[in-house]
Amino acid sequence: MIPAIEDRTGVVFDYVPILLGGIFKATGNQSPVEAFAHIRNKPEYDTLEIERFTRRHGIEGYGMNPFFPINTLVLMRGAVAAQRLGVFADYVDEMYRYMWRDHRKMDDLGVLMDALRESGLPADELAGLVNDPGVKQELIDNTNAAVERGAFGSPTFFVNDHIYFGKDRLWEVEEAINLDQQTENRGAA
């Protein structure tokens, strides 16, 4: 979905790893899975909506991970480390695959290391960096900056200073990018 928007608009998204639990703590928010767990019919509807969304966008093999929710601290430090090592796109693709297609318990360090190795990613380098003080601080700083900018959950997108929350707002993100480009083109003419 995001790569398709990038292709259509020529804009490259700036991926910023954050710690969702940190955003929840700072904003008083909580996971919808927890917040709505006891609302009659809501979980069933959410499952239906996910099926519709994945079908509409041609996402194959997605399924709810029985281990979800998990602690994503090491995964997100790994994302920061992957950016530093220049393997971020592959890291994200593979971690999503193991989480949502292969249904692995990705907060188990042994499982994570196996997934990294199976993916051909630099597992030992990534593992070494997740405890690096600079990586830890960058994740904290990213999280705090996201909250200061207005984030209260994930995914959150910003087009200039305008915030868009949720995967179901990607069409609005693309629309805002297109409008921004039209404005720039008019100003350049």
Contact of 77 with 41, CB cutoff 8 Å? no
* Dist. CA 152–CA 108, nearest whole Å: 26
What pLDDT score was predicted for residue 97? 96
Taking the domains of the chain in order of start, what are their residue ranges?
2-188
User: Which candidate, 161, 151, 160, places its Cα nearest to that of 11?
Assistant: 160
* Dist. CA 51–CA 65, nearest whole Å: 14
What pLDDT score was predicted for residue 35? 87
What pLDDT score was predicted for residue 189? 57
Instruction: Tell me the whole-structure pTM to 2 decimals.
Output: 0.90
Instruction: State the DSSP string of 118-159.
Output: HTT--HHHHHHHTT-HHHHHHHHHHHHHHHHHT--SSSEEEE
Return the CATH fold of 2-188.
Glutaredoxin (3.40.30)
What pLDDT score was predicted for residue 1? 85
What pLDDT score was predicted for residue 188? 64
What pLDDT score was predicted for residue 43? 87
Collect the ranges in the chain with pLDDT lower than 50: none
| Helix or strand holding residue 176 (H, E) | helix 170-188
Tens-place pLDDT, residues 89-107: 999 999 999 999 999 999 9
Contact of 102 with 139, CB cutoff 8 Å? no
Is omega for the bond preceding 155 within 30 degrees of 0, making it cis? Answer: yes
Residue bearing tokens 């910023």: 16
